Amino acid sequence: MSRFFKLAMPRFRGGALVLFFLLFVSGCTATREHEIEGDVNEFRSWVNAQTSKLEERTEEDWKKTKEDFKQRTEELDRKQEGFSEKLRTDYEQIKADFKAREKERDSLANREAEITKWERDLLGQYANGTALTAANIEQAYQNFMSNVRARNKNWEQQDWEMAAAVLEELNQRKEAFDELPDETEVRIKTIQIEFAALKESETAK
């Protein structure tokens, strides 16, 4: 073995070790980035699944979802040092999308609670849908219209919209009764027309 080759061997081995180390670190970094990207993509899928059909989510179920969101974001926030700029932007957008849907869900819940209150005020004992029967559905409409006549003097546009929502809910419940007497249908139709006309005249002022 030549003297030059003997002198070069240690340098070659040292360079090979450095190259191996760099390749190893690069491979680990790429693997880590791939894992983090997978975590963010899984988070995106979770958010999409949790925020679909918000109107069907119960209050208890949605509360659990918000707790899960907090836990998941805390875990991902700790990994942000490994985020690329694009991944960080994507992650922030996913969180913003969830928060926007959360506001929408809260708005739906508030409206549902408001409608429930208006149903109690305008339908009285018939506010609970399970209390309705084919025999008393007409009375429920009469209760509704009687309360509308008595209360509407100081109503604003939003109040009329809530009353209309109560009537629409009552109309949907009526559909469960397939064959009502013709005279009952006529009287109910008269009440529906009276409400529509009164609403139009009052909100046009």
- Is the model's pTM score more than 0.95? no
Q: Are 40 and 90 within 8 A, CB to CB?
A: yes
Give the whole-angstrom CA distance, residue 116 versus residue 98.
Answer: 27
Question: What would the two tokens of residue 158 be?
Answer: 């939003």
Give the whole-angstrom CA distance, residue 168 versus residue 178.
Answer: 17
Burial status of residue 127 (CB atoms within 10 A of its CB: 0-12, 13-18, 19 or more): buried
- CA–CA distances in Å: residue 153 to residues 144, 148, 168, 183: 15, 9, 21, 30
pLDDT 10s per residue in the chain (205 long)?
A: 555 444 444 554 555 555 444 444 444 454 566 678 888 899 999 999 999 888 788 888 989 999 999 999 999 998 888 788 888 999 999 999 999 999 988 888 888 889 999 999 999 999 987 889 999 999 999 999 999 999 999 999 999 999 999 999 999 999 988 889 999 999 999 999 999 999 998 887 6
